[in-house]
């Protein structure tokens, strides 16, 4: 299965992508993670994107399309690819379709996470990430274990994202509704849109995703 995870900032795309990787051996391609890796590597691209990301705007289509094409070229997805946070514009969606077609693949589903704006603010303001492995925690709903060690890698260093503040969130929400939400209609027309209620707990949402993708229980 090759699937796109669509949804506003902090809807739970990354959290559910990790579940699909663990449970079904899929490969997660997160353009957000790729861009954060690029900026911390201090490359020219990294310098260009850092400021744009921190303010909550979308990075130029060309940069993210190149990143995705480069990663797809490396192959290696036994259970299929999960596109997490990509595409975010109609141009990116067309580019993805073309890249997959060139490789003899296609998209099977676009899972759209539906979460209220108030819940997004709550999720974003509590998010903490393991610096070593990227495991995502939340101050209230998924706290860091009492011994201060990451459940996945045992790391002890945790970070908060520079764009997880009220002002950047407003810009990110605006970018989502203006530039990304049209993709809901795009995938609906292609017959592969799968809306999922993202308001429940992590386990409830994981069950809803598995059900809509018809993954075996």
Interstrand relation of 81-84 and 27-30 (parallel, antiparallel or unpaired):
parallel
Kindly write out the interface string for residues 145-184 of this chain, putting x where it contacts ligand AP5 by CB under 6 A and - elsewhere. ------------------x--------x------------
Under the binding rule (CB under 5 A), the answer on residue 103 touching Zn ion is no
Q: Is the CB of 64 or the CB of 130 nearer to ligand AP5? A: 64
- Residue 28 binds ligand AP5, judged by CB under 6 A: no
Among 150, 169, 193, 209, interactor with Zn ion by CB under 5 A: 150
Q: Is 41 exposed, middle or buried (0-12, 13-18, 19+ CB in 10 A)?
A: exposed
Interacting residue with Zn ion among 51, 66, 153, 204 (CB under 5 A)? 153
Q: Which of 88, 56, 59 is nearest to 166 (CA)?
A: 56
Provide the minimum distance between the beta carbon of 155 and Zn ion in the complex, in angstroms, as a whole number: 4
Strands 109-114 vs 3-6: parallel, antiparallel or unpaired: parallel
39 binds ligand AP5 (CB under 6 A): no
Report the DSSP beta bridge partners of residue 111.
5, 194
Q: In this complex, which beta carbon is closest to Zn ion, that of residue 17 or of residue 193?
A: 17
Q: Strand 158-159 vs strand 127-130: parallel, antiparallel, or unpaired?
A: antiparallel
Instruction: Output the smallest distance, CB 208 to ligand AP5, in A.
Output: 10
- Selection from 114, 105, 112, 113 nearest residue 1 by Cα: 105
Candidate segments 30-38, 102-110, 123-131, 162-170, binder of Zn ion by CB under 5 A:
123-131
Q: Is the dihedral of CA 161, 141, 178, 196 positive or negative?
A: positive
Any idea which residues carry the catalytic annotation?
13, 88, 127, 161, 172
Distance CA 167, CA 209 (A): 31
**Window 43 to 102, contacts with ligand AP5 (CB under 6 A):** 52-53, 56-59, 64, 85-86, 88, 92
Q: Which residues bind Zn ion (CB under 5 A)?
A: 130, 132-133, 135, 150, 152-153, 155
């Amino acid at each position: 299965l090759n699937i796109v995870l669509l949804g506003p900032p902090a809807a739970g795309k990354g959290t559910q992508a990790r579940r699909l990787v663990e449970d079904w051996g899929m490969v997660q391609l997160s353009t957000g993670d790729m861009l954060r890796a690029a900026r911390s590597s201090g490359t020219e691209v990294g310098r260009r994107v850092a400021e744009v990301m921190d303010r909550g705007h979308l990075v130029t289509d060309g940069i993210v399309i190149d990143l995705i094409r480069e990663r797809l070229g490396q192959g290696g997805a036994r259970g299929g690819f999960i596109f997490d946070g990509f595409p975010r514009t109609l141009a990116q969606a067309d580019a993805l379709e073309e890249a997959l077609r060139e490789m003899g693949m296609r998209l099977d589903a676009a899972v759209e996470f539906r979460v209220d704006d108030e819940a997004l603010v709550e999720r974003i303001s509590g998010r903490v990430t393991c610096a070593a492995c990227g495991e995502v925690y939340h101050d209230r709903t998924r706290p860091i274990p009492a011994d201060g060690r990451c459940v996945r890698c045992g790391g002890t260093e945790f970070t908060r994202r520079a764009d997880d503040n009220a002002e950047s969130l407003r810009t990110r929400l605006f970018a989502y509704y203006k530039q990304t939400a049209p993709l809901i209609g795009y995938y609906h027309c292609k017959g592969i849109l799968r809306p999922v209620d993202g308001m429940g707990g992590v386990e409830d949402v994981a069950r809803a995703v598995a059900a809509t993708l018809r993954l075996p229980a």
